Structure 1
């Protein structure tokens, strides 16, 4: 299978209890468990997280077989972490077959619904979003695509919960972040949207009609990263020393050639085996809002 430059190959979330998280992602969302082990020293070094050596992890994949992997890494919860309040990865948007079934299907001991399904104001009704927090307080959007062919190519789901098709970034400086993804990773600037962003307004206790501007980063018509303006009250992500950030921790993107990326790698690119990597060259960098961006060379 040919994988396009910029394709989202995965999203990694940290969770306090891996078995609980597996009940959420495997048993409730219906993802297939494809690998379970402990983080080795090489991968921890790739991420710049030496304290995660030995952390239990699991890798899951949509039953459709789409090349997108959901990774869960167990580490202690951080008491100061509050979702949608800090810079870095804020959410993973997944495409689902039927968004309306999920409000009743998510157990309250595993998920917290923060945004029931609804149409987005000021945007074409190309998909219906829903937002929930998982067991590690990671934000996942369950989006049902209505119009696959528009100004963006939005993937219809081929399984009840399918691939991640947009990663949401809470930016310290939206324009700086846009420039970085263009210049460092060879991606393209898409459209700007200004909307009353319910998740942000709730998190910061703003008026419901407060507007937020966001910009889509894409490759051709494939969306990749949604870069959001964040209020002045946002902070750096609190995290344990030498560990992954809490919540939505890391995004993995396909890159045509790692040697053309204009970035400083945490450690030099190296071949990695196992689910998601499949023997390819891999390296990780830190984006302008402190986000971890893992890049896999796909040629």
Structure 2
């Protein structure tokens, strides 16, 4: 895959036990382990999370070799964190080869299935999703693409579990978040969808038919971020002082030129080595829903 402006280079999740995280992502989902160690203090500080320095971490990549990295950072569970109830990154959507195999292959001690594979009402039948919580209560969608080319380009998986192709953002103000990404990063507004969003309805004890509106942010036909309206009962995500947000913690996108982005950096852009960075400049900002967004200059 060619890395273009807006390409999802990775999603970072926090897990209470890195060994369990590796069992989930490496042993079960079949991702390749490409890097492991203790989190560099300068990198943690660049994320605005200096207390995460020294935490055990691992980096994994699909066996297809797609330029998308799954990062796991160990940190204690936060007792007040409840998935799909707070603002910020809500889920990472991955493309898989056979969604129907996964309900019976996800061990209960590592994954909690919250949505079985099914078709989505009010949307074109382009992929079949299922949803599960991983060992850090991070939300992972396993989506089998049926129609790679429609109004969007949806990548068909070339390994059992392949790249992240959509990141889901929960926001208190969908229009404000859309405007920020368009103005700051030059992304484009895609289609609005209004659907009975099962996971949101379950999380907030709403009637099954309650409708949620979401909008896709994209670059050309490449989807990048699904921006979801969240109910008034949603709250700011609880987190330990100086540490990463629990669950789906941080998203990394490729940008052509950091100097043309109109966002406030948490620290100065820095060239970084290692998996995902490969010597390129990277910097982190915070989006309007409190989400951590890392940008890597690839142009």
State the TM-score, normalized to the length of structure 2: 0.99
SS at match of 2:246: coil
Instruction: State the partner residue of 1:208.
Output: 208
Tell me, in whole angstroms, the C-alpha distance in 2 between the residues paired with 1:190 and 1:133. 27
Cα distance in 2 for partners of 1:29, 1:4 equals 26
The alignment partner of 2:23 has SS state of helix
1:185-243 CA-partner distances (Å, limit 9, x unpaired) = 11000000000000100000000100000000000000000000000000000000000
- 1:40 and 1:19 map into 2 onto residues whose CA distance is 19
CA distance in 2: counterparts of 1:235 and 1:294, whole angstroms: 23
Correspondence for 2:244: 244
Tell me the alpha carbon deviations over residues 112-145 of structure 1, each in whole angstroms, 9 at most, x when there is no partner.
0000000000001000000000000000000000
- Which residue in 2 is equivalent to 1:161? 161
Deviation at 1:2, TM superposition (A): 3.7
Name segments (4+ residues, structure 1) moved above 2 Å: none
Residue number in structure 2 paired with 1:185: 185
The two structures have a TM-score, normalised by structure 1, of 0.99
SS of the residue 1:201 aligns to: helix
Provide the C-alpha distance between the structure 2 equivalents of 1:154 and 1:219, rounded to a whole number of angstroms: 13
- Residue 254 of structure 1 aligns to a residue whose secondary structure is strand
Paired with 2:283 and 2:262, the residues of 1 have a C-alpha distance of 12
Structure 1: unaligned runs, 5 residues or longer: none
- Mapped partners of 1:45, 1:240: distance in 2: 15
Match of 1:101 in 2: 101
Aligned mates of 2:244, 2:190 — CA distance in 1: 29
Give the Cα separation in 1 of the matches to 2:210 and 2:48. 37
Give a deviation string over 1:249-287, Cα, whole Å, max 9, x none: 000000000011100000000000000000000000000
- How many residue pairs match? The answer is 299
Q: Secondary structure at the match of 1:278?
A: coil
- For 2:289 and 2:100, the matched residues in 1 are separated by 34
